[in-house]
Amino acid sequence: MLVGEGPGTQLVAGGTDLWPNLKRGLGRPRTVVSLMSVPDLHGLASGDPEGELEIGATTLLSEVIESPLVAEHYPALARAIASISSPPLRNLATLGGNLCIDTRSTYYNQSEGWRRSIDHCLKKDGDVCWVAPRSPRCWAHSASDAAPMLCALGARVRLVSVDGERVVPLEALFRDDGIDYLSKRDDELLTSILVPREAGGERCRQSFWKLRRRGAIDFAVLSVAVALWFDTGGNVERARIFLGAVASRPVSAGEAERSLEERPLSEDGIAAAARLARRVATPLDTTDFEPAWRGKMVEAYTEAALREAAGLDPGLRLHTSKP
């Protein structure tokens, strides 16, 4: 899905999230309109060598993975997208759709009969979030694998409506709310993703790690995206660390980022940053595995991602597909 539900009308791209949800009774639009025949929403383009890479919202995930430009300059983005689902679905699913994918929860992504048996949940037809029954909000978690990596790379998104267009940082697209999880208006269409060229330069090192029960198909129960920029002296000039599937939006590990900056990347510094990243993660009972264990894995996977970006042995086996 690229936009929120309007009054009775739903726009759709690949449909790999929308159609299964409709089968489960999670939405009942009167009209569904496909965007896949709109040529201006599709394809990858780069302007001058210093310009941004622009990826149309309906560009297939498989097309992003197969792009020589992405493989050369944004290898961690290719890895993140290659970790999504399976080859048949990556040949249907789109990048814009993955960024706007619905949040997920053990109590929400079930058949209508199952949800009825627990009197539904706050995200759909109920009054209680069964993840945290005393909380007034929904705690369904962010399910996009592309979003944390693109946030780490400093990507922006173009939003278009009848009133014109605006370009915003990708991280500003998300809200920390399992129901109202996108900040864009219902009349706005996400048309393209802009990835800065400097994120694909020699000074930037990237890494993406994903935890799930199986090595394919499954949604993440945790993902860690890292982008590090180095100055000519070998110090970390800027660090970006984003965590996925631990909250209702991709989470920035700001304190961990700052601990790495203005100094060389050392093993002790990496371990300390990983401990700081654990502090911002709030994995709850929204998905597979015990939340407490998933919290511990935030530290382990952040350390592995940073070690890989530093050219060190990650110390863990990467549990994801490779492009």
pTM for this predicted structure: 0.93
Mean pLDDT for the chain overall: 93
Local confidence band at 51 (pLDDT 50, 70, 90 cut-offs): confident
* Model confidence at 1: pLDDT above 80: no
Which tokens hold the place of 243? Answer: 């965590």
CA-CA distance, 51 to 12, in Å (whole number)?
Answer: 30
Q: Are 148 and 242 in contact (CB under 8 A)?
A: yes
Torsion angle, alpha carbons of 65, 48, 150, 299, to 10: 100
Q: In this predicted model, what pLDDT tens digit does every residue of 92-130 receive, in sequence order?
A: 999 999 999 999 999 999 999 999 999 999 999 999 999
Q: Are 272 and 234 in contact (CB under 8 A)?
A: no
E-strand stretches of 103-197: 156-161, 164-169, 189-195
Helix H or strand E encompassing 210: strand 204-211
Tokens 């601990």 -> residue: 259
Helix (H, G, I), strand (E, B) or coil at 23: helix
* Model confidence at 175: pLDDT above 50: yes
Q: In this predicted model, what pLDDT tens digit does every residue of 196-225 receive, in sequence order?
A: 999 999 999 999 999 999 988 999 999 999
Predicted pLDDT at 7: 55
Predicted pLDDT at 46: 81
Which candidate, 275, 320, 267, 317, places its Cα nearest to that of 298?
275
Predicted pLDDT at 106: 93
- Pick 290 or 247 by higher pLDDT: 247
Query: How many Cα atoms within 13 Å fall on the side-chain side of residue 52?
Result: 16
* Model confidence at 274: pLDDT above 60: yes
CA-CA distance, 139 to 195, in Å (whole number)?
Answer: 29
Q: In this predicted model, what pLDDT tens digit does every residue of 218-234 receive, in sequence order?
A: 999 999 999 999 999 99
